[in-house]
Structure 1
Amino acid sequence: MKILVTGATGTVGRHVVRGLAGRGVPVRAFVRDADAAARVLGPGVQLAVGDFSDRETLARALSGVDRLFLACGNVPGQIGHERAAIDAAAAAGVGLVVKLSGPDPYPASPLVFDSWHGAIERHLAASGLPMVLLRPRTYLTNLLAHAQAIASTGMLFAPAGAAEISFVDPRDVADVAVECLTGEGHEGRAYTLTGPEAITFERVARELGTAIGQPVRYVHVGDEDARQAMTADGLPPMVADAIVAIFVAQREGWMATTTTDVRDVTGRAPRSVTDFARDHAHLFQPASPAQGDGGEDGRAENALAKAGDLA
């Protein structure tokens, strides 16, 4: 059995590739830059260089492939990219597609990334390909966008209010994907993937503070201030609006429930925010005096500037 992984150097995809390779499963990674991919994935991974917009490279990448892990970044062409991959998979006779989707995907969703995933899921269903849908909540790794501000100021800035959010570790999402790609009995299932509990940003700040041995304080940022900070730092207005809309949905309780799907599929409990904080503490450590403090108060732009993967 050979498996193709798209989005192979992404937040989840890199862990899927490593998980499959660790089991000795033949895996091929669909990438745009072979040198960059080799640095991320390490030696020994078969690379298929191409682009979603190039049907010939998709066809070559899918040649001889039995199963496909379908993932793509939240970019304006995402719907077209994933539809092209689905069509190419159908033409190649792929036996199963495991799609990385959004937390609540449907085409009419007010959240733009969920609406895109909804349209892609509909196309996948219409293709007739056997499929598994993975619907993770907000990734714990999105907190890495706040690392510089925390290291510089000891403060965590976000427009999250008191929202309870069932963050999930991308490593757990990847572990579920590997089980679905290599096992049986998952076809036709949709898994909503969460951490073990819903937590607030106040709790996140406390956990990070414990992990780095320094207090971290959560500071709520207004929606418009967050939007302006992100666009001032170069994020496209559409992306900034989409990120703010996700925070609004979180404050309204859309992402507060948890499921047992990670445990049910993998046989173990999902990683907690405590686990994540411990594993990534070095990235949040306070800056040394020689590095400076990052500005007057490390405002929202420092905390949110690179928060482009909140879906």
Structure 2
Amino acid sequence: MATVLVTGATGNVGSKVATELRARGISVRAFVRDPDRAAAVLGGRIEMAHGDFAEPASVRRALDGVERMFLLCANDPRQVEYGTNAIDAAAAAGVRQVVMLSTIGAGAGSSTVFFDQHGRIEEHLRGSGIPAVVLRSSHMMSNILASATTIRQAGRFFLPAGDARIAMVDPHDVAAAAAAALLTSGHDGRTHVLTGPEAITYAEVARLLSSALGRPIEYVDVPDDAAVTGMAQAGLPQWLAEQVVAVFEALRGGENASTTSSVRELTGREPRGFEEFAHWAAPLLVGE
């Protein structure tokens, strides 16, 4: 197989996709804004393409000689523009397949901005003429890492999740599924919904973290307004804080409550549960 372009390559999922592909002997080109940071995250064995979704010419350069693309656009007010421009550039470059990371709940016209953005990009991809696979990920287990400071300092984390049951997925499993979609046939035109093995609450997350860390960890449910304020005070842009809380509202409504067999079907193994993820994440949560 020729080179795979991995976008979002320094992020939580993209970096793991790049690593998965390299481990299988695939030539990977990482589309990155900061090559030095990317080298620190990915190591020196992956080709870097310096660019930015906001600069279409850099996307076109990065696609030169690329056969397949993993498309991951971070949440941004211009996310739809960035995603559709990247798809258009891939079509013009003759890319043979795009595997896009989307989200459960995606749908153009959704009142939840993140879901609307992903849905509009999905629609554009389906109309592009490029053979494509859409991976709709559930709520990531790794989202708990955003609460690392309060977990470390106070043994508590604060979220507006209520008692929602969420089929959280390990980002390692999402990356493995993406690599499988890129490397094996029969997936083009399909949408795979990726979840963990069970739907759990954040109270159960706290219990599993307590066991992994060897000390009590408490989940504190907070009202939406307080959550927006807290996230903004922690440095999140106001628009982003508001939309993260909107996603939690959807979670409380059951948006991510169902499990699927897609991880097993794509990777050949069962998805990891939160207990295993908690032990992997423990060093990150205690600052080691």
Pick the TM interval, shorter chain. over 0.9
TM-aligned CA deviation for residue 278 of structure 1: 0.6
List aligned pairs for 1:223-242, cutoff 5 A.
223-242=224-243
Kept in 2, the 8 Å contact 1:150–1:286? The answer is: no
List aligned pairs for 1:9-88, cutoff 5 A.
9-88=10-89
Corresponding position of 2:175:
174
Corresponding position of 1:139:
140
Q: Tell me how far apart the structure 1 counterparts of residues 8 and 70 of structure 2 sit (CA, whole Å).
A: 8
Q: Tell me how far apart the structure 1 counterparts of residues 287 and 76 of structure 2 sit (CA, whole Å).
A: 33
- How many residue pairs get aligned? The number is 287
Q: Tell me how far apart the structure 1 counterparts of residues 235 and 59 of structure 2 sit (CA, whole Å).
A: 31
Please give the secondary structure, in 1, of the residue aligned with 2:127: helix
TM-aligned CA deviation for residue 286 of structure 1: 8.7
Kept in 2, the 8 Å contact 1:53–1:84? The answer is: no
List aligned pairs for 1:285-304, cutoff 5 A.
285=286
Corresponding position of 2:247:
246
Q: Tell me how far apart the structure 1 counterparts of residues 21 and 209 of structure 2 sit (CA, whole Å).
A: 31
TM-aligned CA deviation for residue 235 of structure 1: 2.1
Q: Tell me how far apart the structure 2 counterparts of residues 55 and 219 of structure 1 sit (CA, whole Å).
A: 43
Corresponding position of 2:217:
216
- Per-residue CA deviations over 1:104-152 (Å, capped at 9, x if unaligned) read 2111112111100111111111111110000001111100011211121
Corresponding position of 1:293:
none
Kept in 2, the 8 Å contact 1:70–1:97? The answer is: yes
Structure 2: unaligned runs, 5 residues or longer:
none
Kept in 2, the 8 Å contact 1:9–1:37? The answer is: yes
TM-aligned CA deviation for residue 220 of structure 1: 1.1
Corresponding position of 1:207:
208
TM-aligned CA deviation for residue 232 of structure 1: 2.7
Kept in 2, the 8 Å contact 1:4–1:68? The answer is: yes
Please give the secondary structure, in 2, of the residue aligned with 1:280: helix
Q: Tell me how far apart the structure 2 counterparts of residues 2 and 67 of structure 1 sit (CA, whole Å).
A: 7
What letter corresponds to residue 157 of structure 2 in structure 1? L
Q: Tell me how far apart the structure 1 counterparts of residues 287 and 24 of structure 2 sit (CA, whole Å).
A: 38
Q: Tell me how far apart the structure 2 counterparts of residues 232 and 208 of structure 1 sit (CA, whole Å).
A: 25
TM-aligned CA deviation for residue 234 of structure 1: 3.1
Please give the secondary structure, in 2, of the residue aligned with 1:254: coil
What letter corresponds to residue 65 of structure 2 in structure 1? G
Please give the secondary structure, in 2, of the residue aligned with 1:156: strand
1:154–1:233 Cα change, 3 Å: closer
Please give the secondary structure, in 2, of the residue aligned with 1:196: coil
Q: Tell me how far apart the structure 2 counterparts of residues 282 and 5 of structure 1 sit (CA, whole Å).
A: 27
List aligned pairs for 1:247-266, cutoff 5 A.
247-266=248-267
Please give the secondary structure, in 1, of the residue aligned with 2:103: coil
Q: Tell me how far apart the structure 2 counterparts of residues 232 and 37 of structure 1 sit (CA, whole Å).
A: 28
Moved over 3 A (4+): none
1:176–1:286 Cα change, 3 Å: closer
1:202–1:46 Cα change, 3 Å: same
Corresponding position of 1:7:
8
Structure 1: unaligned runs, 5 residues or longer:
288-311
Corresponding position of 2:118:
117
Kept in 1, the 8 Å contact 2:104–2:255? The answer is: no
Q: Tell me how far apart the structure 2 counterparts of residues 283 and 63 of structure 1 sit (CA, whole Å).
A: 37
Corresponding position of 2:153:
152
Please give the secondary structure, in 1, of the residue aligned with 2:260: coil
Q: Which region of structure 1 is more displaced relative to structure 2, 195-204 or 77-86?
A: 77-86
Kept in 2, the 8 Å contact 1:157–1:219? The answer is: yes
List aligned pairs for 1:87-102, cutoff 5 A.
87-102=88-103
Kept in 1, the 8 Å contact 2:158–2:222? The answer is: yes
Corresponding position of 1:301:
none
What letter corresponds to residue 235 of structure 2 in structure 1? G
TM-aligned CA deviation for residue 188 of structure 1: 0.7
Kept in 1, the 8 Å contact 2:164–2:251? The answer is: yes
Question: Normalising to structure 2: TM-score of the pair?
Answer: 0.97
Kept in 2, the 8 Å contact 1:161–1:251? The answer is: yes
Q: Tell me how far apart the structure 1 counterparts of residues 126 and 61 of structure 2 sit (CA, whole Å).
A: 23
Q: Tell me how far apart the structure 2 counterparts of residues 25 and 283 of structure 1 sit (CA, whole Å).
A: 29
Kept in 1, the 8 Å contact 2:29–2:46? The answer is: yes
Please give the secondary structure, in 2, of the residue aligned with 1:275: helix
Q: Tell me how far apart the structure 1 counterparts of residues 149 and 56 of structure 2 sit (CA, whole Å).
A: 40
